[in-house]
């Protein structure tokens, strides 16, 4: 199945019904929507201390390419839900608005807009569903993967999660987001092709099982992959397999093949790694590294780091690709201004800050992030503004940032995090202050001098 | 971005490196792999009492269409990882094997194969990653959605989850899997187009906010959507908005427009629904139904059912589309036989049952499922066999089952579940017995008369 992920029909029905309503009323004035996360995920205590923006490149691709194809318009017509004149207008709709956003790789916090769309109301409305879908998922994964990177300093981590990611796109975007967050690469070949990510892979148990004995399987695999040889040693008995590597290494050396590493995928990984390390070292294979996989999350990584388990790298799948302990962010895309007038939703527990906004970040003398200020875009402040212009009149302002640039930004940002935020356990929230100008706007609106 | 979800490169690198190893050794004999779930998700207590098969149609589509395109072969060549003769062979590879599977909508339990692939070793190996990716996700979602259906008997449930689903494909497959499990439809327009799912949608807060007052917004929306009018009433003050519907209904009636329902999306949904129900009933709007959305899961549905909250239907998003309390299943695809010899992986905690297998289901006199038996396919037993032939020599044995057929099967299967399994809380596990023939095979293998 080829997936029309760029189809304009990849949206909620209500976007189209609302557009028909706007069309009927001629409501085409400029709207400002902002995308933000309401709170850190996890109940009762947050399971994240910070979040990382990712997915902007795909969001801009989507906006630049947005249009309904003739057969899609015909299909919409066939549903009988829409007026002919509206569908004619819809066929001509393109996104010609402006976008300001935090660059990918930026650390952000609840309440802070990470993307602001300024466009005619129908355009800005229509893009809601897919914009959230794109920015939510990669930000979710980058935020999860960054915790793993922090928990295993200096250890290469590789994305192994495609099989249990939620579909094809999730597998691809997980590979990208994890790489941005500091992973070394992925097993996902298509992601490797698309973004030139470093690809990693060893072999599966089935390769061993398909042979009548393990030693022969190792030898066959080695001869087929003399270049970067990592052998999976837990199919039957991990330590027994490690012992077999000593005679194997000698045989392979005669052919000019070296064993680079082993992978352990079951049992107590740290215990097995210690035993295997001993066996290998005693056998003169001190240069063979140990790679571990299987149900790994940041807590296990931190435990291995604390006990100095002799594991040199990790393959990480499901718990990263699904962000399994917090598989969604409470994010929203809300109208903040229409026709020059600030707007505010007041629903219980979901009230929003009105107006078009900016976030300023302050650092201490050691370069650590100290606090952010949320304010109106018109209220220029000290500190570093986080939202930057990225699209004007429907066109990007420059080429995409390279993955390496974004990856370096994440590394830099993680270095600027206050120590308590780098820990895996929940901590005192990072301060995001609301500026006086924004509070005054709310007061003005509540006093009834503005529509609600 | 168009997503090449049917690309043969959507796989783990190690599948290709193993295939190169098989190619080098001429290992082309018949392999049997089975796909199964190791245990119910959730720690320490399971969060599911049963699982439901979904995604088989997409799995068969994938197998039928599998082939490397010339540009993909060229790209693989450019990586320098693969031998030229191997890539030539890979270019000609098609899936020409057999598949037996449980029909979509079948209830299943840990340890039971839901799909068995019998094909030459390279073909059967190569398809692992995407087969798991496809069957895992839809089965995950169908299993979650079925709990919601059981928790809200007789209430229409609608998938609203696209925005926070993990990418485009997750949003599409969630809509399909939820419909199979008994949901009434989805807000996802592309899913509606693709599978002819019933589409639902109301309006967002932004539509209300873009107007200078709520009453005018309601009226504008009503005039644009006279057919199926559901109004969102919690943008500012839910009960105040409900009061406005009484004069609005009178004005709309003059134009021949009726209000079908209201949607509440915030606060204590049951409390608001009771208040709104009173307001509407007192105002002569007894026929207007109440629809609720926002952070809904099966536990809240059960609570509403228990307290008879006056809510007539639900929009359910994130917690269904991400299966948020258990966002993955511990599923695997393992080699069980090669070249006529049963194979077994013995890794700690991950040992498998060898050989090609079948599952037989037994019912009590009231038609409730009583126990299953896991045995060798050659060991014919009493009871209903669950795995059926669906593909031979790479071709489907018949047309896809219609979604309505699968949906009816789920309904029927849920009716056959023992009462304790229908509950949301964990219960005594459903018995899956291992037949004597299978235990004997393990003994034979352990006694060393078979390879390991």
pLDDT value of position A226 = 80
Cis peptide before A385 (omega within 30 of 0): no
Question: Which among A138, A200, A203, A210 is the top mutation candidate for probing chain B, defined by the most B β-carbons within 10 Å of its own β-carbon?
Answer: A210
Structure tokens at B141: 């979602």
The answer to whether B188 contacts A10, with C-beta atoms less than 8 Å apart, is: yes
Kindly report the nearest CA distance between residue B452 and chain A, in angstroms.
Answer: 6
Q: What does the alpha-carbon distance between residue B374 and residue B116 come to, in Å, rounded to a whole number?
A: 14
Query: Is the CATH code 3.20.20.70 the one for domain A202-293?
Result: yes
pLDDT value of position B199 = 97
Which of B130, B225, B334 is the closest to A21 by Cβ?
B225
Angle subtended by helix axes A238-254 and A269-282, to nearest 10 = 40
The answer to whether A10 contacts B327, with C-beta atoms less than 8 Å apart, is: no
Residues of chain B with CATH 3.20.140.10: 13-142+326-449
Closest CA to A276 of A308, A233, A215: A233
Question: Which among B12, B171, B324, B354 is the top mutation candidate for probing chain A, defined by the most A β-carbons within 10 Å of its own β-carbon?
Answer: B12
Residues of chain B with CATH 3.20.20.70: 153-321
The answer to whether B170 contacts A172, with C-beta atoms less than 8 Å apart, is: no
The answer to whether B267 contacts A347, with C-beta atoms less than 8 Å apart, is: yes
Map chain B to HEC letters.
CCECCCCCCCCEHHHHHHHHHHHHHCCCCEEEEEEEECCCCCCCCCCCCCEECCCHHHHHHHHHHCCCCHHHHHHHHHCCCCCHHHHHHHHCCCCCCEEEECCCCCEECCCCCCEEEEEEHHHHHHCHHHHHHHHHHHHHHHHHHHHHHHHCCCCCEEECCHHHCCCHHHHHHHHHHHHHCCCCEECEHHHHHHHCCCECCCCCHHHHHCCCCHHHHHHHHHHHCCCCCEEECCCCCHHHHHHHHHHHHHHHHHCCCCCCEEEECCCCHHHHHHHHHHHHHHCCCCCCEEEEECCCCHHHHHHHHHCCCCCCEEEECHHHHCCCCCCCCCEEEEEEEECCEECCCCCCCCCCCCCCEEEEEEECCCCCEEEEEEEECCCCCCCEECCEEEEECCEECCCCCCHHHHHHHHHHHHHHCCHHHHCCCCCCCCCEEECHHHHHHHHHHHHHHCCC
Q: What does the alpha-carbon distance between residue B111 and residue B107 come to, in Å, rounded to a whole number?
A: 13
The answer to whether A167 contacts B5, with C-beta atoms less than 8 Å apart, is: yes
Which of A163, A223, A235 is the closest to B136 by Cβ?
A163
The CA-to-CA distance between both ends of chain A, in Å, stands at: 46
Cis peptide before B44 (omega within 30 of 0): yes
CATH architecture of B153-321: Alpha-Beta Barrel (3.20)
pLDDT value of position A450 = 56
Which of A58, A237, A327 is the closest to B1 by Cβ?
A58
Which of A136, A225, A266 is the closest to B348 by Cβ?
A266
pLDDT value of position A452 = 47
Contact (Cβ atoms closer than 8 angstroms) between residue A359 and residue A158: no
Q: What does the alpha-carbon distance between residue A145 and residue A257 come to, in Å, rounded to a whole number?
A: 34
Contact (Cβ atoms closer than 8 angstroms) between residue A358 and residue A385: yes
Do β-strands A289-293 and A313-316 pair in parallel, antiparallel, or remain unpaired? parallel
pLDDT by position in tens, chain A (length 452): 566 788 999 999 999 999 999 999 999 999 999 999 999 999 899 999 999 999 999 999 999 999 999 999 999 999 999 999 999 999 999 999 999 999 999 999 999 999 999 999 999 999 999 999 999 999 999 999 999 999 999 999 999 999 999 999 999 999 999 999 999 999 999 999 999 999 999 999 999 999 999 999 999 999 988 888 999 999 999 999 999 999 999 999 999 999 999 999 999 999 999 999 999 999 999 999 999 999 999 999 999 999 999 999 999 999 999 999 999 999 999 999 999 999 988 888 888 899 999 999 999 999 999 999 999 999 999 999 999 999 999 999 999 999 999 999 999 999 999 999 999 999 999 999 999 999 999 999 888 755 54
| Per-residue exposure over B89-116, b if at least 16 CB sit within 10 Å of its own CB, e if not | ebeebebebbbbbbbbbbbbbbbbbbbb
The answer to whether A2 contacts B6, with C-beta atoms less than 8 Å apart, is: yes
φ, ψ (nearest 5 deg) of residue B195: -115, 10
What's the CATH number for A13-142+329-449? 3.20.140.10
Residues of chain A with CATH 3.20.20.70: 202-293
Which of B237, B338, B347 is the closest to A266 by Cβ?
B347
* Assigned CATH topology for domain B13-142+326-449: nicotinate phosphoribosyltransferase (3.20.140)
The answer to whether A451 contacts B212, with C-beta atoms less than 8 Å apart, is: yes
Which residues from chain B sit within 8 angstroms of residue A23, using beta carbons? 224
B152-201 residue pLDDT tens: 999 999 999 999 999 999 999 999 999 999 999 999 999 999 999 999 99
Which residues from chain B sit within 8 angstroms of residue A207, using beta carbons? 18, 21-22, 125
The answer to whether A266 contacts B167, with C-beta atoms less than 8 Å apart, is: no
Which residues from chain A sit within 8 angstroms of residue B61, using beta carbons? 1
Which of A17, A160, A327 is the closest to B327 by Cβ?
A327
Which residues from chain B sit within 8 angstroms of residue A225, using beta carbons? 17, 20-21
Structure tokens at B109: 């339990």
Helix, strand, coil percentages for chain A (3-state, nearest 5)? 40, 20, 40
Question: Which among A77, A78, A128, A168 is the top mutation candidate for probing chain B, defined by the most B β-carbons within 10 Å of its own β-carbon?
Answer: A168
According to DSSP, residue A448 is labeled: I
Alpha carbon separation from A305 to A190, A198, A269, A270 (Å, rounded): 32, 24, 12, 10
pLDDT value of position A195 = 97
Q: What does the alpha-carbon distance between residue B330 and residue B349 come to, in Å, rounded to a whole number?
A: 12
Q: What does the alpha-carbon distance between residue A377 and residue A380 come to, in Å, rounded to a whole number?
A: 7
Which residues from chain A sit within 8 angstroms of residue B171, using beta carbons? 10, 133
Structure tokens at B409: 């099967």
The answer to whether A189 contacts B12, with C-beta atoms less than 8 Å apart, is: yes
Which residues from chain B sit within 8 angstroms of residue A172, using beta carbons? 3, 10, 167
Closest CA to A145 of A159, A132, A135: A159
Alpha carbon separation from B209 to A29, A293, A444 (Å, rounded): 13, 50, 16
Find tokens 């003059």 and name the residue.
Answer: B254
For B130, the closest chain A residue by CA position comes to A163
The answer to whether A346 contacts B235, with C-beta atoms less than 8 Å apart, is: yes
Kindly report the nearest CA distance between residue A12 and chain B, in angstroms.
Answer: 5
Q: What does the alpha-carbon distance between residue B245 and residue B239 come to, in Å, rounded to a whole number?
A: 10
Kindly report the nearest CA distance between residue B328 and chain A, in angstroms.
Answer: 7
pLDDT value of position B452 = 47
Structure tokens at B349: 């905690």
Q: Evaluate if residue B362 carries a pLDDT over 80.
A: yes
B75-114 residue pLDDT tens: 999 999 999 999 999 999 999 999 999 999 999 999 999 9
Where does residue A85 rank: exposed (0-12), middle (13-18), buried (19+ CB within 10 A)? exposed
Kindly report the nearest CA distance between residue A452 and chain B, in angstroms.
Answer: 6
Which residues from chain B sit within 8 angstroms of residue A5, using beta carbons? 1-3, 5, 167-169
The answer to whether A163 contacts B65, with C-beta atoms less than 8 Å apart, is: no
Which of A81, A170, A331 is the closest to B167 by Cβ?
A170
The answer to whether B266 contacts A348, with C-beta atoms less than 8 Å apart, is: yes
Structure tokens at A223: 């001869």
Size of interface A-B (CB pairs under 8 A): 371
Q: What does the alpha-carbon distance between residue B181 and residue B148 come to, in Å, rounded to a whole number?
A: 9
Q: What does the alpha-carbon distance between residue B388 and residue A414 come to, in Å, rounded to a whole number?
A: 52
Containing H/E element for A193?
helix A189-195
Which of A10, A212, A324 is the closest to B190 by Cβ?
A10
The answer to whether B133 contacts A162, with C-beta atoms less than 8 Å apart, is: yes
Kindly report the nearest CA distance between residue B151 and chain A, in angstroms.
Answer: 22
For A59, the closest chain B residue by CA position comes to B1
Q: In which band, very low, low, confident or very high, does the pLDDT at B277 lie, cut at 50, 70 and 90?
A: very high
The reply to whether the predicted model has a pTM over 0.95 is yes
Which of A163, A203, A266 is the closest to B129 by Cβ?
A163
Where does residue B258 rank: exposed (0-12), middle (13-18), buried (19+ CB within 10 A)? middle
């Amino acid at each position: 199945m080829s997936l029309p992920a760029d189809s304009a029909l990849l949206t909620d029905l209500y976007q189209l019904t609302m557009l028909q309503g706007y069309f009927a009323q001629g409501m085409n004035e400029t709207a400002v929507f902002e995308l933000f996360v309401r709170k850190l995920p996890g109940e009762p205590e947050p399971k994240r201390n910070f979040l990382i923006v990712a997915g902007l490149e795909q969001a801009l691709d989507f906006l630049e390419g947005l249009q309904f194809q003739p057969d899609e318009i015909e299909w919409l017509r066939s549903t009988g839900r829409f007026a002919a004149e509206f569908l004619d207008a819809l066929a001509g709709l393109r996104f010609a608005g402006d976008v300001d956003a935090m660059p990918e790789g930026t650390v952000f916090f609840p309440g802070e807009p990470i993307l602001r769309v300024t466009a005619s109301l129908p355009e800005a409305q229509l893009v809601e569903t897919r914009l959230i879908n794109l920015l939510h998922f990669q930000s979710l994964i980058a935020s999860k993967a960054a915790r793993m990177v922090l928990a295993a300093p200096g250890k290469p981590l590789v994305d192994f999660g495609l099989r249990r990611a939620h579909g094809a796109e999730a597998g691809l975007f997980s590979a990208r987001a994890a790489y941005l967050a500091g992973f070394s690469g992925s097993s996902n070949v298509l992601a490797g092709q698309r973004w030139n990510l470093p690809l990693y892979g060893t072999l599966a148990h089935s390769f061993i099982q398909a042979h009548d004995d393990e030693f022969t399987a190792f030898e066959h695999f080695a001869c087929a992959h003399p270049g970067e040889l990592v052998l999976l040693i837990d199919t039957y008995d991990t330590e027994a397999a490690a012992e077999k590597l000593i005679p194997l290494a000698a045989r392979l050396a005669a052919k000019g093949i070296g064993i680079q590493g082993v992978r352990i995928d079951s049992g107590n990984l740290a215990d097995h790694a210690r035993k295997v390390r001993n066996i290998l070292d005693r056998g003169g294979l001190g240069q063979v590294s140990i790679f571990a996989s299987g149900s790994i999350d940041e807590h296990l990584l931190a435990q291995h780091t604390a006990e100095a388990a002799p594991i040199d790298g990790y393959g990480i799948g499901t718990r990263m690709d699904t962000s399994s302990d917090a598989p969604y962010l409470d994010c929203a895309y809300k109208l903040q201004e229409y026709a020059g007038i600030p707007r505010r939703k007041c629903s219980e527990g979901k009230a929003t800050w009105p107006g078009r906004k900016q976030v300023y970040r302050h650092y201490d003398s050691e370069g650590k992030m100290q606090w952010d200020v949320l304010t109106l875009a018109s209220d220029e402040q000290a500190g570093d503004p986080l939202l930057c212009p990225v699209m004007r009149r429907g066109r990007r302002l420059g080429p995409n940032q390279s993955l390496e640039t974004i990856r370096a930004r994440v590394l830099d940002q993680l270095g600027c995090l206050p120590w308590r935020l780098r820990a895996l356990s929940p901590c005192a929230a990072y301060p995001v202050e609301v500026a006086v100008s924004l509070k005054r706007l709310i007061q003005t609106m509540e006093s009834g001098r503005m529509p609600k």
